[in-house]
Structure 1
Amino acid sequence: MVPDARNTASLTYAAALRILPAAAEEAERLGVAVCMAVADSGGNPLAFGRMDGAPLMSAKIAQDKAYTVVAFNGLPTHRWYDMIADEPALLHGIVHTDRLVIFGGGMPVRAGGELLGAIGVSGGTADQDRAIAEAGAAAVTGRSSRKP
């Protein structure tokens, strides 16, 4: 180990390529066309997919959802609103932070409790995006990460 440095686990490109089809399969099951973005533990893009008919604006939103998750140590995007809803300064201030998304569709990908990266999904409702992101993350973790 190098002094003054730390090792960080991160998703691989191969893992990202397993996440996208798992997410797309869930989107097809739900009957919604979405954009899906996978980021590594540093928030760097690894893979992206836009299903036929997915809204164009959803591309950036999906990427920002994945980035939001890793930028806040794995906090799923659906948890944000409840955390800030009763704090007007945050509710009306932090939402103007570039790339921050505070509604469902961004989920962490973890292994052994360590954040490896995230998937962001956009194009459906917040609940649909969340379910699709969870299905994508499960392709690596092997289990659903659904929590309230």
Structure 2
Amino acid sequence: MKLATASAMIDAALAEATRLNASVCITVVDAAAWPVAFIRMDGAPLGVIDVSSKKAKTAVLFQMDTEAFAKIAHPDGAAYSLENTNGGLTSFGGGLLLKTSDGAIAGAIGVSGATTEEDIAIARTAARLLST
């Protein structure tokens, strides 16, 4: 994940968050789960800094969106308490695995601070940049 790509994704996510009137934190990580770009919008609660980071980390480490991860990590799921591994993960939507047009894993984006549905929508808007 190049910084220019991560920055463009942050810009797209910021525009969508602004359109939704949401204040969020946005984290972009590379394929090894290391941070590439981060931003905290004015008014975003401090607690969602860590949540956006963990959403991105979860998506890339398990190669799935956190919305799907939530289905296996909930109390009745096949991998209940999996979110307690790897220094802490997040098992709800807003983290998206990012793939290049040829299917290679580029990294992940995590968005937190709005509703789960809005976090997902904001992340999807940013993720579309990789498919163009």
Equivalent pairs, count? 130
**Gaps spanning 5+ residues in structure 2: where?**
none
Whichever residue aligns with residue 78 of structure 1, its letter is E
Match of 2:84 in 1: 96
- The yes-or-no answer on 1:26 pairing with 2:16 is yes
> Partners in 2 of 1:105 and 1:43 — Cα distance?
16
Corresponding residue SS for 2:105? strand
Whichever residue aligns with residue 95 of structure 1, its letter is E
> Partners in 2 of 1:100 and 1:90 — Cα distance?
13
Q: Find the structure with the greater CA-based Rg.
A: 1
Match of 1:82 in 2: 71
Please tell me the root mean square deviation across aligned C-alpha atoms, in Å. 1.6
- Once the two structures are TM-superposed, the CA of residue 86 in structure 1 deviates from its matched residue by 6.8
- Once the two structures are TM-superposed, the CA of residue 94 in structure 1 deviates from its matched residue by 1.9
Match of 1:134 in 2: 124
Deviant stretches of 4+, over 4 Å:
none
Q: Percent identity?
A: 38
> Partners in 2 of 1:115 and 1:88 — Cα distance?
26
Whether the aligned pair in 2 keeps the contact of 1:66 and 1:118 (CA below 8 Å) is yes
When the two structures are superposed, what TM-score results if normalisation uses the length of structure 1? Answer: 0.81
Match of 1:125 in 2: 115
Whether the aligned pair in 2 keeps the contact of 1:18 and 1:140 (CA below 8 Å) is no
**Gaps spanning 5+ residues in structure 1: where?**
1-10, 143-148
Whether the aligned pair in 1 keeps the contact of 2:72 and 2:79 (CA below 8 Å) is no
